[in-house]
């Protein structure tokens, strides 16, 4: 954000506002690499399944709630003025919501006898779906 606020100079005739666009590009490339790693692990787990450690999943989800909520609050003030900050804010808020969904979905999905509960799984999957953004309508 510091670079985006710099005034234009003879060398940078439009200032450095486009630096936030480049930051978004680097973020997208990083996310693509991360998705590739996750896909690689997913294929490996499909070929050789391992049991899920419920306690670890809940612990990571609880940490995710805290970290993503704090990060979303950091982006709260700038979300109206910059599209990239708004996107980051919405992303962090959605991630906090998904982590909360994981914590709330565990009890119906793993009862005391450790059997899978299909209704809990379907309910959790539906609850973790991302809401669609509202359409902005043109004002006449």
pLDDT in tens, 6-34: 566 666 555 566 667 778 889 999 999 99
pLDDT in tens, 27-69: 999 999 999 999 999 899 888 888 777 788 889 999 999 999 9
Number of Cβ within 10 Å of residue 106's Cβ equals 16
Dist. CA 66–CA 132, nearest whole Å = 24
User: What would the DSSP string read from start to end of 37-103?
Assistant: HHHHHHHHHHHS-----HHHHHHHHHHHHHHHHHHHHHHTTTTTT-HHHHHHHHHHHHHHHHHHHHH
Sign of the alpha-carbon torsion through 102, 106, 110, 116: negative
Residue 100 in domain: yes
Residue 139 in domain: no
Half-sphere exposure in the Cβ direction for 3 (13 Å, CA): 9
pLDDT in tens, 71-116: 999 888 877 777 888 888 999 999 999 899 888 876 655 554 455 5
Query: What's the distance, CA 40 to chain centroid?
Result: 20
Q: Is 123 helix (H, G, I), strand (E, B) or coil?
A: helix
Q: Are 89 and 69 in contact (CB under 8 A)?
A: no
Judge if 87 and 97 occupy the same domain. yes
Judge if 3 and 24 occupy the same domain. yes
Residue with tokens 């043109």: 138
Q: What is the pLDDT of residue 35?
A: 96
Judge if 77 and 110 occupy the same domain. yes
Q: Are 55 and 34 in contact (CB under 8 A)?
A: no
Total structural domains within the chain: 2
Judge if 46 and 58 occupy the same domain. no
Judge if 121 and 63 occupy the same domain. yes
pTM score: 0.55
Judge if 4 and 40 occupy the same domain. yes
Judge if 62 and 27 occupy the same domain. no
Residue 103 in domain: yes
Judge if 28 and 71 occupy the same domain. no
* Token representation of residue 97: 């919501």
Judge if 58 and 40 occupy the same domain. no
Judge if 63 and 44 occupy the same domain. no
Closest residue by Cα to residue 93 from 49, 121, 133: 133
Dist. CA 70–CA 45, nearest whole Å = 32
Judge if 9 and 27 occupy the same domain. yes
- Domain with 119, as residue range(s), is 52-131
């Amino acid at each position: 954000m510091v670079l985006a606020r710099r005034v234009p100079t003879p060398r940078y005739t439009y200032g450095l506002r486009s630096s936030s666009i480049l930051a978004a590009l680097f973020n997208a490339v990083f996310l693509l690499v991360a998705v590739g790693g996750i896909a690689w692990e997913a294929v490996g787990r499909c070929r050789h399944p391992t049991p899920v450690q419920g306690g670890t999943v809940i612990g990571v989800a609880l940490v995710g709630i805290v970290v993503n909520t704090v990060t979303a609050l950091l982006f709260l003030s700038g979300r109206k003025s910059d599209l990239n900050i708004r996107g980051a804010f919405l992303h962090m808020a959605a991630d906090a919501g998904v982590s909360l969904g994981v914590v709330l979905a565990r009890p119906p999905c793993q009862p005391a006898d450790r059997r899978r509960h299909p209704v809990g799984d379907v309910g959790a999957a539906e609850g973790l779906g991302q809401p669609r953004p509202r359409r902005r309508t043109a004002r006449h």
